[in-house]
Structure 1
Amino acid sequence: MELLKYSNNVTEFVLLGLTQNPHLQKILFVVFLFIYLFTMLANLLIVITISLSPTLSAPMYFFLTQLSLIDASLSSITTSKLNIDLLYNKRTISWGDCLAQLFLEHFLGGSEIILLTVMAYDCYVAICKPLHYTTIMRQGLCQLLVVAAWIGGILHGTIQILFMMDLTFCGPNVIDHFMCDFFSLLQLVCSDTYRLAMVVAANSGGMCLLIFFMLLISYIVILSSLKSHGSEGQCKALPTCGSHFIVVVLFFGPCIFSYTRPVIIYPMDSLVAVVFTVLTPMLNPIIYTVRNTEVKKAMRSLLKKRLT
C-alpha cells in the first residue's frame, strides 16, 4: 500500500479492518448493520421507557438512561464507521478524524467506567443501607454524580489527545485495526514511545484494573450483606446486582486486556475491540431488560397505551 506523507508527516492512515476478503466483508456488513440498528433501537427504547414511566423513577433507572445514551453514542462512533468501511471498502482515515475518533472513544469509555462505578455504589446503598437510601441517593446527588461521570470522561479523552499531539509519524501509515487504537498508533511513531506507553498503561489500564477490583470488593460486601436479608429481599436484589455485574465484566474484561500490557499488537486485538465497542453496547440493554421485571412491565404498559 502507498504511504501517504506530507511535509515528512503522515496525514492519513490506512485501516486494514477485520478482513481483506471481499465476500466476508459483505457478510460482516450485514451482521454489523443488524447489530448497529438493534443497539440504537434497544438503547433508545430504554431511554423512552424510563423517561415516560412514572414507576421507573428510582436513581438506578436514571443511571441506566445515561448508560444507554453512552452505549448508543459509542456504537455510532465505532460500529457505524466500521459499516461504512465494509460497504464502500474505504480504507483511509485522516489524522484529524483519527484524533477525533480516539478522543470520543476514550471520552465515552471513561464516562462509562465512572458511571458503572456510580451504579455499583447505588446498588451498595440500596442493599446495605436500605433505611437511608432515599436520604443518601438524593436527586441532586444523582445528577451531580452523572455530571462528574461526563466531566471525568472528557478529562480522560483530553489526556489521550494531549499524548498524541507531539508525536511524529514519518514512516508507515498502515494500522492493523478497524479503528484508530492508541497502541496501534504508537507502533507507527518514529521516536521511542516506551515511557509514553507506560503512562498510557497507567492512565487507561491502571484505571480499568483499579476500578474493577474496587467493584469486585463492593460486590463481595453486597453479597455478604444479602445473607442477612430474607429470601424475598434476596430475590429482588440479586437480579439487579447480577445484571450490573455482567455488564461490568463485559466492559472491564476487554479494557484490562487492551491496556494493561506493553505496546505489542496481537492478532486478537481487533476481536477484543469488537466485544468492547460493538457487542457490549448491544448486550447492555438486553441484560438490563431481560433480568428486570419492572422495566419489562413498563415497556408492556407503554406498548398497550400506544396500541389502544
Structure 2
Amino acid sequence: MALADVQELWTSKLKPYIVAGFIAMLAGTDTNAKNLVLADGTNIAQSTFIAATEKGANSGVATLDATGKVPSSQLPSFVDDVIEAANFAALPAEGEGGKIYVTLDDNKTYRWGGTAYAEISASIALGETAGTAYEGSKGAANAAAIASHTGNSDIHVTTSDKAAWGAKYDKPSGGIPSTDMTAEVQASLALADTAIQQHQDISGKADKVASATNGNFAGLDANGNLTDSGAKASDFATAAQGGKADTAIQSVKVNGTALTPDANKAVDIEVPNRVTAQELAAFVV
C-alpha cells in the first residue's frame, strides 16, 4: 500500500472514527478517560471540546450557519427580516415567526402569531373626542378658513349666532321677512321689493322737470297755475283778450244798470217786444 493510500485511509476513515469514539468516551462515565492529560499538560475533560449532543440542544450551545452566524431560530424574540406588503390582503397566507410584516397603505406592523397576524403598532383612534387623534385634514381646512378672513381677529360662530342669522336673512319667496323690523321699515322695503320683482327700472329718470316740453309735463308757476309755456294759445285767452271781454260786458246795461262780470252769478237779459226769427222772416217777405 502506498503512502498516499495510507494517508487517505487515515483522513477519511480512521481519524473521524477514532475522534468520534474518543469524544463519546469523554461524554460517558469513564473517569479515567476524562482525566487523560495531553502531552502539553491540557486536561481533556477540561478542554474546549463540545459534545455533539449539546450542539443546538436545550441547555447546550448554539450552532452557526454557513455565514458563521447563529440562526434566528436559536435566538429568542429575534427579528431577522422585515417584509413589506401593499396592504393587509397582500400579506402571505401564512407568516413566519421572527419576521415583521408592514402594510404600506396604513403603515401598520404585524407579527405572525401561529394562526393569524397580530398587529404590533397600536392603531390610533380617530375622532374629535378627548384622547383621540384629530384628523390632520380638518386642521388644514380650519387654517385655510381663518386665513381667508383677512383682518378679522375673531370669526368664531356659535350655534345661537347661526340661528339668529338664519332668522334675519332667510328671506321667504313671498317677500320681506316680518321679524326684526319695524312696521315702517317693513312697508318701505315691501314697496321696493315689489318694484324690483316687477322689473320696474327707474334708472335714468329725472328727479324733476326743469321746463315744459312737448310730450312732457305742463309748466306750472310757484302758485301751481299754468304758465304760458304750458298752455296753448288756441285754448286760453290772453290777458289782452280778457280785458276786451270785460269791457264789452260792462257796456251792456239792464234797466239802466251796467253788467258786472261775476263768476258766481248768472246774467239773465230780458229784451221787451222781442221778435222771433219766424216773425222776422215773415216780415221780410
Classify the TM-score, shorter chain: under 0.3
RCO comparison, higher one (Cα < 8 Å, 6+): 1
Give the TM-score normalised by the residue count of structure 1: 0.16
Query: TM-score under structure 2 normalisation?
Result: 0.17
